[in-house]
Structure 1
Amino acid sequence: MTGVWSAAAASPIEGVTAMPYAEVNGQRLYYEDSGSGDPIIFSHGFLMDHTMFDAQVAALSGNWRCIRWDERGHGRTETSSAAFTYWDSAADLFGLLDHLGIERAVLAGMSQGGFLSLRATLTAPERVRALVLMDSQPGVEDPEKVAAYNQLLDGWTAVGMTDQLAEIVAAIIIGPGFADTPAWQQKWRDLDTTTVRQTYTTLVSRENDVTPRLAEITAPTLVVHGSNDASIELSIAQKYAAELPNAELVVVEGGGHSSNMTHADQVNPALEQFLGSLNS
């Protein structure tokens, strides 16, 4: 079993009621469960972990039961060495909900967390109360971007995470001007590159494009996307949001790929309004 940064410290969110592990599908999933009310489960992006939702949990845990977890190959989760897909990750999500005794929840996913949340919704729509997609997409990776990403990963494996490489990765995954970027860059420097390759393979070899199935997703959906996302262009979000039957799009002005972290002041009010509408 492997973890990416298993020694990482838990985030200091008030009211965390549990910080345990769940044995699910041959993995040992780390999760945090805080707040009270109807459940919402947060799924993070590639090279990130559950702490990227600190600002959302702080804002919502007074009215919502907030669950966030480290996906396969990330954070404190202990992951088998076998190859996996985002359909497997979707099954992990439902396994975690089963472990917690939750039948139905709001699924909120950022980037690859959105990939697995979309697949979870297509697998068991009756278990999804609503869907929040943050800087994500239903399609596959652009081949030109994959070629560039391959070069970055090869350099990382060969010489380690240099300062120059760390800046490039941060520009793609986070965006400019974020005060906590150095802390994330240090996490990346500490990663095991074998595990990174495992999760990267899942990312760039997504076996299908679920865009043709968007019409099946009738759950209320909030699409949140940074205007300056360098990883997934805003035009992609605009297109797929229009194809979802029951979706609204919120553009985060100035936001990069991790707009929920860097521009929480824009994301959180939109998220609170959307979640409030579910109870109206």
Structure 2
Amino acid sequence: MSFAKTDDGFSLYYEEAGSGEVIIFVHEFAGDHLSWEPQLRFFSRQFRCLTFSARGYPPSDVPAASEAYSQHRAAQDIACVMDAAGIEKAHIVGLSMGGFATLHFGLHFPMRAITLTIAGVGYGAEPAHSEEFKALSEEAARQFESIGSESLAPIYGSGASRIQLKHKNARGWAQFVSRLAQHDPIGAANTMRSVQAKRPSLYDLENELRALCVPTLIITGDEDDHCIQPSIFLKKTIPACGLLMLPKTGHTVNLEEPEKFNNAVRDFIAMAQHSLWWKRDADAAEQIMQLTDGKG
């Protein structure tokens, strides 16, 4: 078993497979290092792939204090895993909570990111929904503490943007719920309160996002309603950014549509490797802005 040490003294469990240029996979709130198995089996044929469990997710350490969790820590922890594995630069692929961590990694460690793939990101980011999102996160934290992960898992897994996985792949959904049921309730509650509820809005990061030059791919499902508008915002704001929307797909895009997800990420990385993933044409972007402002 391999463990990385964080800068504040906690251990993070990670696994790797394959050889070559490196891809780091960063999991969502309801997942863990096992959530990326369809990707590891595909990409490890050509890449060195790493997946890890975030703090609060065994076999990684579960800090008891909520102050040990934050969006900033989540991004730093990616760098700590890379340091432990002797990796200077990597392609970073994240889903949902892991997508936010991937984005913040790109903002804080741009020289260490070859590309960024940010999937299922944006829930709670829209200013109009921020207070509702914080309240829902706090309630979810209380439920993990009061009824536990085993009782909450099937409820959480049947949400409006997750039920699609059950319709497409009942066995895969059952496995997803079974793994969620084993999550540490203290780690889940602390993550909800201190990472999810307190992360900054994407819209407050506009200036930083406009300066982000790392090639970026945004992936979202067209039935992941809370992530659609934030994904479009990221597409319009990050200079070298593409957007893929998968039809009839919810939040867990890498599990719902693994073949489409894998092929899209593979093609994106290949284009970036050959310098074919360029920034948006400045004149075209200006024309669009003028039309949006009613000047065109």
Q: Following TM superposition, by how much is the alpha carbon of 1:229 offset from its aligned partner in structure 2, in angstroms?
A: 1.1
User: Quick one: distance in 2 between partners of 1:101 and 1:134?
Assistant: 26
Matched residue, 1:98: 83
Cα gap change, 1:101 to 1:189, in 2 (>3 Å): closer
CA displacement, residues 51-110 of structure 1 (integer Å, 9 cap, x when unaligned): 111111111111111111111112421133332212112111111111111111111111
2:24 paired with 1:37: no
2:188 is the alignment partner of 1:203: no
Query: Which structure 2 residues correspond to residues 67-146 of structure 1 after superposition, within 5 A?
Result: 67-82=50-65, 83=67, 84-137=69-122, 139=125, 142-146=130-134
Does residue 191 of the first structure (1) align with residue 183 of the second (2)?
yes
2:250 is the counterpart of 1:256 = yes
More displaced stretch, 194-203 vs 170-179: 170-179
Equivalent residue in structure 1 for 2:6, among 16, 24, 42: 24
Change (3 A) 1:260 1:73: same
Secondary structure in structure 2 of the residue aligned to 1:32 = strand
Please report how far the alpha carbon of residue 152 of structure 1 lies from its aligned counterpart in structure 2 after TM superposition: 4.1
2:259 is matched with 265
Tell me the SS of whatever aligns to 2:37: helix
Letter in 2 for 1:23: K
Q: Which structure is higher in helix share?
A: 2
Deviates more, 1:234-243 or 1:62-71: 234-243
State TM-score, norm by structure 2: 0.80
d(CA) in 2 for partners of 1:38 and 1:220?
A: 16
Q: Distance in 2 between matches of 1:270 and 1:159?
A: 39
Deviations 1:163-190 (A, max 9, x none): 6x54431134633223222223233333
After superposition, the Cα gap between the structure-2 partners of 1:181 and 1:113, relative to the gap in structure 1 and judged at 3 Å, is: same
Asked if 1:235 corresponds to 2:204, the answer is no
Asked whether 1:278 is paired with 2:272, we answer yes
Q: CA deviation at 1:33?
A: 1.2
The TM-score normalised by the length of structure 1 is 0.85
- Give the deviation of 1:45 after TM superposition: 0.5
Contact 2:249/2:256 (8 A) holds in 1: yes
Which residue of the partner structure matches residue 51 of structure 1?
Answer: 34
Cα distance change on mapping 1:122 and 1:254 into 2, 3 Å: same
Question: How far has the Cα of 1:31 moved from its partner?
Answer: 0.5
Q: Say yes or no: does 1:159 pair with 2:147.
A: yes
Work out whether residues 22 and 91 of structure 2, in 8 Å CA contact, stay in contact via their aligned partners in 1: yes
Aligned to 2:135: 147
What secondary structure sits across from 1:122 in the alignment?
helix
1:216 aligns with 2:211: yes
Q: How big is the shift at 1:193?
A: 2.2
1:225 maps onto 2:220 in alignment: yes
CA–CA distance in 2 between the matches of 1:113 and 1:58?
19
RMSD in angstroms over aligned alpha carbons?
2.2
Mapped contact 2:74–2:101 kept (Cα < 8 A): yes
CA distance in 1, matches of 2:5, 2:140: 33
Aligned to 2:249, what secondary structure does the other structure show? coil
Q: Secondary structure at the match of 1:29?
A: strand
Q: C-alpha displacement at 1:162, in angstroms?
A: 7.1
Shift of 1:156: 4.3
Q: Name the CA shift for 1:171/1:41 in 2 (closer, same or farther; >3 Å).
A: same
Aligned residues of 1:137 and 1:240 also touching (Cα < 8 A): no
